[in-house]
Each structure stands twice: as C-alpha cells, then as structure tokens.
Chain A
C-alpha cells in the first residue's frame, strides 16, 4: 500500500515549456486534489476532483489544467510554464462524503523550477 505517489520528484523547465505532473493513489479514494506550496507559505488549492469524471477549480487555477484519468489517477498539466509557477506541488486524496474517512492524505510532492 503505497498511499499517494507523485512523479517526477524534481523537474526544471524553461519558460514556455509544457509538462504533466502525475499522481496516483491506491486507497480507493473518490476525491483527489492538487495544491501548490510557495516558499514560506501554506498550501493553496489549484484544482480538485470530487469524483471520477468531475473536476473543479480551486483558489489558484490559472495556468493549469487537470485530468481525472480514472479513479486512481489525477494529472496536472502546465501548458506554457512561467517562472511564477516555480513551486512545490502536492497531490492529495480522500473519501469525500464518508464521515470519518475524509481526511486528506498527501503525496511526497514535486519540486518544479521554471527558469
């Protein structure tokens, strides 16, 4: 039981390049989330998927797209990376709507640098 896994762990991009961050969970959770953490700050929600087939914007969605590929996988895409997107990205999952099971569990993070 690996929990929440993220790939890659580190990535360096040039301005304008694109990339996709991958996230997978093996806890049979219905909801998945993408957050970013800038230096010295708390996490901020980018997008989330409350259930397979649905996605919704969070607090800071501009410049990102997401895909809920299946129940296990939720990817985050940067179409044209900008230096302002330099951050650590965290994926999380939970069972939304099931009382007592809706704590969010986090992956190890991806450190992204955009030059």
Chain B
C-alpha cells in the first residue's frame, strides 16, 4: 500500500507571487504516476499537472510546475504569478499503474490567494 502526505493544511500567498505546495509519498511500487488536482468551492476535481515516474524531467503546465525528487519520494507543486482564481484545495495523488490505476490522495492543502 502507498501513503501520500501533505504537511501544509493551509497556505496563503499574495496575488502575483509564487507559492510551493509540498507532497511526499511512500511506496514500494516502481510503475506509477503522480498528480496534482485542484478542488475549488464548486467541489469539481480539476487536473492541474501530472508526472510520469519514469521521466526525469519535471512537468510544467503554464504557471504550474513540479519538483519531482524520486529518490526522496517528494513531489512539490510550484504556482507562479498566483491569481485569485487559484484559491482552492489542492490534492496530491499517487496512481498505482500495477493495480488498476487506483489513486491514493493526500489530505489536501487549502490555498488562499490574497489581493
């Protein structure tokens, strides 16, 4: 079984600044992906970014990028030029590709972007 830990229950950042959300995971699997999902007050789960574990290059999607440290089992999310619309819960998730692509989620980080 795997576990996902997000050690920051809440964070805040000023609009236009940069913030980094932390995530660590524990697994014995070698075939996995990692994800960050955003959940705004509407409750919809929205994919932010994904990282294939076999890739060394860190994934980027516009203002969102990750720092994937496989040996340390760390997967942090950096949000640049923060916008008010980034205010949401952010969940880190581990996908076990050897077991039906099941997702294991962390407990979430509530991010508030302040004007």
Binding site for B on A (CB under 8 A): 31, 33, 35, 40-45, 48, 50, 56, 58-59, 88, 90, 92, 94, 96, 102-106, 108-109, 111
B-side interface residues, number (CB < 8 Å): 23
Binding site for A on B (CB under 8 A): 4, 33, 35, 37, 42-45, 47, 50, 91, 93, 95, 97, 100-108
Mostly helix, strand, loop or mixed at chain A's interface?
A: strand
A70 to chain B, nearest CB (A): 18
Cα–Cα, bound, A14→B33 (Å): 40
Q: List 27 A-B contacts (CB under 8 A).
A: A31-B101, A35-B103, A40-B107, A40-B108, A42-B4, A42-B91, A42-B106, A42-B108, A43-B91, A43-B103, A45-B102, A45-B104, A48-B102, A50-B100, A50-B101, A56-B100, A90-B45, A92-B45, A94-B101, A103-B47, A103-B50, A104-B101, A106-B37, A106-B45, A108-B43, A109-B43, A111-B43
Cα–Cα, bound, A88→B77 (Å): 26
Cα–Cα, bound, A21→B79 (Å): 36
Mostly helix, strand, loop or mixed at chain B's interface?
A: strand
Contact at A42–B107, with CB atoms within 8 Å? yes
Most B C-beta atoms less than 10 A away, residue of A40, A90, A96, A104: A104
Cα–Cα, bound, A106→B39 (Å): 11
Q: Which A-chain residue is minimally distant from B50 (CB atoms)? A: A103
Partner of B101, one of A43, A90, A96, A109: A96
Most B C-beta atoms less than 10 A away, residue of A31, A33, A43, A92: A43
Cα–Cα, bound, A102→B103 (Å): 11
Q: Which 8 A-B pairs have the closest CB atoms?
A: A42-B105, A106-B45, A50-B100, A96-B101, A43-B105, A109-B43, A42-B107, A42-B91
Q: Which B-chain residue is minimally distant from A9 (CB atoms)? A: B43
A24 to chain B, nearest CB (A): 17
